[in-house]
Structure 1
């Protein structure tokens, strides 16, 4: 694991729990959340802010940190529990597909300096990445991440890179076709962005297989349990950086089962940054029955989801300070 400056180390300590495990709650969704919390997909800014505040107030007492966005998230940041660090998204939602390649962009009114001054303990950027796309496309993404890495180095604040993989020639990332190439895509991307030039401090990544196609998890088997376990081990061996798993919108139950499988496979993941798997049913309650029903759901089932996840992390995750270290 690379040596960290005092500022970056302090930031990671604030975003992790006392044992060095990152059990973060993600609610930086913007366009997708608008559709989730309103029947007609037309939720206004005040409504989006209200839902984010509810999630933050009800669930951050049980999280090590919360990921928010500067467009709708500052009110939620203000009501988070004192134990929860603040990770802020820096990218625009979505991507530019006009020239191909799912190119990223940053929010025009924000910089790392401004986000830190407003109270962020860490910076998160989402990148859609296909390691097999033409060099002319991926070189743009590499330069983009290098710039953000330099900004975070200048401000001495942790840089979390979220990588969502895809294949430019496969439309459906949930398909059998994509499942066959997913390990190569995820592991290859992690190797690329673990290089020192990018100055990434933590990778937020997918698990290396589609668990719906793992023997014993779904009806269709593309990976045996042994094959899937080997991909989890290869993922761990691909980086010396701390890495945490995103939930990718799967159910809370499947995500929990996945974490146990990762641990049993030898993965040394350092936590999770979990969004929809924790609170998406609360968003449906908000759309269908309003604020009071959503708050009740968050206090009961939402809390159960996050506390169940925390219990698994205690036995399955490795402290971020031990990233890259193999203990015998």
Structure 2
């Protein structure tokens, strides 16, 4: 069996974002529009750029001693990046927050003043791109998104830095991505995009993916909301396995805004299914309840909350990863199956 070829820079960037086991136990704090809206709602007045910077800095200072890496944005997060714990990797987001609402298809765009070179010079060990993707959408829409990712992949290759791709499944014909009807079709959407973006011409190094199943609709799970189920526990495990088999690149799970109990239960199900996931990029599940505290008590109150509940959240998450996550090179057959070029 031929070895997988990876460049020295790509390997170094992934390893900088992983722990000593090779598991990516990363925190996410690159939220911009959603964070601004949440702080505005909690405060009752418009959140300012300083609110976002202060919130990010507190999260980074308190939580990165417990993480292998932190994902930030260059718009509000570079000050926070300088405050991360020693030895913690840095991923920087390259896309604009949200998507273009003026045209159909949720088309992505890049931060106009940034390049991969500039992000690397700012300290990035890896580049992250988010793209809303419906594998069964109009071919013209998907061709644009595929070309977009391929261009970013080529830019990362030219700068010898890993690309973490975050595809988010949607289908406006099905409806709410958090609802029952979408839960029924989500497994095939996630498996399809994991297969598509594993293709080498995209230049993706790590897939940051959603859970193919929504545990709120899995009968037999603690998080099951009751009522109609989309699948039972065994069917859910089969969906997880099929999606994992579609991947030819290391993949990690995102928390997608769910609470920590639900996220941990999802990770436990993946481990039970024998899925070789290589870690997480977990954001709101860790710190979102601190938003109300920040609105009422400011940065000092937020820091106190993070030092207790926030650290408790990330500690629980790390314990779950220790029990179930696999090193990032597992999907290639281990370190010895990789040829450094």
Which category of TM-score, normalised to the shorter sequence, fits these structures? over 0.9
The CA distance in 2 between the partners of 1:149 and 1:2, in whole Å, is 17
Alpha carbon RMSD of aligned pairs, Å?
1.2
Structure 1 residues 157 and 55: CA distance shift in structure 2, 3 A: same
SS across alignment from 1:126: strand
Structure 1 residues 232 and 325: CA distance shift in structure 2, 3 A: farther
Aligned residue in 2 for 1:99: 103
Aligned residue in 1 for 2:170: 166
1:289 shift after superposition: 2.3
1:290 shift after superposition: 1.7
Number of paired residues? Answer: 326
Q: 2:293 touches 2:301 (CA, 8 Å); kept in 1?
A: yes
Residue number among 238, 242, 255 corresponding to 1:247 in the alignment: 255
The CA distance in 2 between the partners of 1:155 and 1:121, in whole Å, is 11
The CA distance in 2 between the partners of 1:98 and 1:206, in whole Å, is 26
* CA deviation string 1:190-227 (max 9, x = no partner): 11111011010000000101110001221132201110
The CA distance in 1 between the partners of 2:39 and 2:4, in whole Å, is 41
Q: 1:11 touches 1:157 (CA, 8 Å); kept in 2?
A: yes
Residue number among 8, 11, 25 corresponding to 2:10 in the alignment: 8
Q: 1:235 touches 1:267 (CA, 8 Å); kept in 2?
A: no
Aligned residue in 2 for 1:124: 128
The CA distance in 2 between the partners of 1:228 and 1:239, in whole Å, is 17
Gaps of 5+ in 2: 335-341
Q: 1:208 touches 1:231 (CA, 8 Å); kept in 2?
A: yes
1:41 shift after superposition: 5.5
* TM-score normalized with structure 1 length: 0.97
Q: 1:259 touches 1:312 (CA, 8 Å); kept in 2?
A: yes
Structure 1 residues 34 and 41: CA distance shift in structure 2, 3 A: farther
The reply to whether residue 54 of structure 1 matches residue 66 of structure 2 is no
1:3 shift after superposition: 2.1
The CA distance in 2 between the partners of 1:270 and 1:151, in whole Å, is 25
Aligned residue in 1 for 2:89: 85
Structure 1 residues 283 and 9: CA distance shift in structure 2, 3 A: same
Aligned residue in 2 for 1:147: 151
SS across alignment from 1:308: helix
The CA distance in 2 between the partners of 1:53 and 1:37, in whole Å, is 15
The reply to whether residue 321 of structure 1 matches residue 329 of structure 2 is yes
1:121 shift after superposition: 0.3
SS across alignment from 2:86: coil
Aligned residue in 2 for 1:312: 320
* CA deviation string 1:122-176 (max 9, x = no partner): 0000000001101010000000000000000000000000011001312311111
The CA distance in 2 between the partners of 1:302 and 1:137, in whole Å, is 40
SS across alignment from 2:219: coil
* TM-score normalized with structure 2 length: 0.93
The CA distance in 1 between the partners of 2:192 and 2:124, in whole Å, is 30
The reply to whether residue 115 of structure 1 matches residue 102 of structure 2 is no
Gaps of 5+ in 1: none
Residue number among 196, 202, 205 corresponding to 2:200 in the alignment: 196
Aligned residue in 1 for 2:339: none
1:324 shift after superposition: 4.5
